[in-house]
Amino acid sequence: MSVLARANPPMWHYLPGFDYAISETAGQLRAFLTARDAAGERASRSWTARRTEDGASALNDAVREGLARGIIVSEYSISLALAVLWALPRHVPMPEITVEDDGEIALDWHRDVHSNLTVTVKKSGLLGYSALIGLRPNYGQAPFPGSLPNEVVLNLLRVHPLPPARRRR
């Protein structure tokens, strides 16, 4: 048994949106896991926990603001959006989150007028992305099976390039 550090983008370890089991036992496990995740986030002060907390709080604000406009967001979309936030590369800042009129959740990174990316969490489970970096637009849709699709990661890196490695002394 050994620890494996995967090179792939991290995967949210429990996504209620992907839990389709319907038995009584499955329901008990789901309740247990959902409660445990919430408790774990409160108890832990790790970077991941803080990112999750910040993401959940920003997402809640956006959903509440959407509700005030009469827009309802499905629990499935909220769960997926949270998983997307959690799966973001560490150097990428938290996006601006808005709920669109059709109930989709939009995550916006606006670095400057020449460098923008919007990722939309769709009800179908797909991620829509629309980037404008310099004069090069790039847009499309990609599936989100629990880790960020390559197209989204590449666009994120175009808007927020990896910081240079620190020099060792």
Partner 1 sequence: METHVQAPVQAGKLPEMRAKPPEFFGLFMRDEAESKAAQFRTDGLTLSQLRDYTTAEPLFAEAFEMWEAFAGIVRPTAVVRVALRYINRLRLPFRPGDEFDRFLTSAPTMPADAPQDVSEFFTRVVVVTGQEYEVTGIITQQLERPTEGTPGPFILDIDVFKAGEFQPDRGTLEPILRDLRQVKNQLFFAFLTDEALEPYR
Residues that bind partner 1 (CB under 8 A): 4, 6, 8, 11, 13-14, 18, 20-23, 25-26, 29, 32-33, 36, 67-68, 70, 72, 123-125, 143-147
Select 14 or 138, whichever has its Cβ closest to partner 1.
14
Tokens describing residue 124: 């179908």
* 44 and 38 Cβ atoms separated by less than 8 Å: no
Min. distance of Cβ 162 from partner 1 in angstroms? 23
Instruction: Provide, rounded to whole angstroms, the least separation between the CB of residue 20 and partner 1.
Output: 4
- Shortest distance, CB of residue 105 to partner 1, whole angstroms? 16
How near is the Cβ of 30 to partner 1 at its closest, in Å? 11
CA-nearest of 9, 8, 140, 161 to 84 is 9
Nearer to partner 1, 132 or 149 (CB): 149
Nearest Cα residue to 85 out of 115, 49, 114, 110: 49
CB of 23 to partner 1, least distance (A): 5
- Nearest residue (CB) to partner 1, 123 versus 160: 123
Q: Tell me how far apart the alpha carbons of residues 52 and 57 are, in angstroms, rounded to a whole number.
A: 8
Say how many CA atoms lie within 13 Å of 70 toward its Cβ.
Answer: 0
- Give the residue with the Cβ less far from partner 1, 54 or 65: 65
Q: Identify the bridge partners of residue 110 per DSSP, sorted by sequence position.
A: 116
Measured on CA atoms in the order 52, 53, 59, 60, is the torsion positive or negative? positive
Of the pair 122, 160, the CB lying nearest partner 1 is at 122
3-state DSSP assignment of residue 9: coil
The answer to whether 49 and 40 are in contact (CB under 8 A) is yes
